[in-house]
Structure 1
Amino acid sequence: MIPCFYQDFDEEIPEQHRTMCKRLYHLWILHAITLAVNLVGCFVWMLGGGGVTNFGMAIIWLILFTPCSYVCWFRPIYKAFKTDSSFNFMAFFFVFMAQVGISIIQCIGIPGWGNCGWLATISFFSYNLWIALLMLIPTLFFTATATLSFIALTKVHNFYRGSGGSIGKAQEEWTTGAWKNPHVQQAAQQAAMGAATGAMMPDQQYSSNTPQYNDNQM
């Protein structure tokens, strides 16, 4: 069985970028764990009278955003460190800034959005103390995720600008044909396909095996 993704920090990532890349991977793991803990918190919240909507939304957050966050921002930054690709850095910044915004919203905890954030947790203390305390656990997870995500975004941005990267460099990479680099193409295809990256393989095989015809044959 061919895996959808392959990563080897020691073999593929340059030593000077390895620590930062690993920390971003650990941040993605924390994000996934937070969504799982939030699901449990929303389930307890529902049992306490918080409504089914929050629990249903928590399921969607976990199922949808766990694979999408891996594909849409971790894989681009992994490829960016691997190939020194400005285009992948730009893809990471574009998606991860949205990720930071979503993490802040989750931390706030607007009722009906499927997140055990501060607003939802504090307001439930007057109804059921024990359930509110359990809801406080994913709230703290969301707070840690949002804080660490903002710090990570700042550090990667400072590193990229310090290394001479810019939007112009990403545009130059596109216009000069660096976008045709197979590593860059692979990262972009994975981001576009999302969780269904397995469907890429037949398309790639088809494109590589497409017969070529000359004028006489046509």
Structure 2
Amino acid sequence: MRHSEHHRTHRTGWLRAAVLGANDGIVSTASLLLGVAAAGASTSTIVVAGVAGLVSGAMSMAAGEYVSVSTQADTERADLARESKELAANPHQEHAELKSIYVKRGLDESLATSVATQLMNHDALSAHARDELGISDTLAARPVQAAFASAATFAAGAAFPLLIVLMLPSAALMWGLAGSSLVFLALLGLLAARAGGAPVFPSVLRVTFWGALAMGLTATVGALIGVAV
């Protein structure tokens, strides 16, 4: 029988990192550029600040994702090692534990016992990892994948506000940069929702609202500093 359902759970690892990277790239770079522009800096200074923000931000995202997801991976490995020792030392107790999980999920005792026995005979560690610890191949931590996805999408997101700065005249820079960045964020929310199979409107609203707030606050601070200096 042909499987007609299309699930997207396998995308959560890289999709989360990619959306986070692109969103941060657009918001942080656009906010930085608006803050520097509001302080009265020249176009060349704004571009230098933007390029520096792009490079440092991409590297920071890659390092942060790698470290945080590696910590998750280390925890998963430690749990699996502990579970492996428990299976070797006390298989009957582990069998009873797995059976009780299936009973709580709705199976009767005899069926739960049979399922636990067959799964443990097939691959006891995988059965306990999946059903007791919640660890599976689909959702397993992948530090390198997360790091590359975050860095690449941050750089891509940061490139859009930089291009706008190069294209717009100084007189239209502030409003043009803010408006175009909100459009980019709305498109990001749309793409993220479509890729994850989620409702579009909440995703678009979420990214544009927080992006607008970040850019507005940064521009205000930049203007105040420019006046003070």
Question: TM-score if structure 2 supplies the norm length?
Answer: 0.31
Query: Which of structures 1 and 2 has the larger relative contact order (alpha carbons within 8 angstroms, sep 6+)?
Result: 2
- The structure with the largest helix share of the pair is 2
TM-score, normalisation: structure 1: 0.32
Look at both structures and tell me which one has the larger radius of gyration over its CA atoms.
Answer: 2
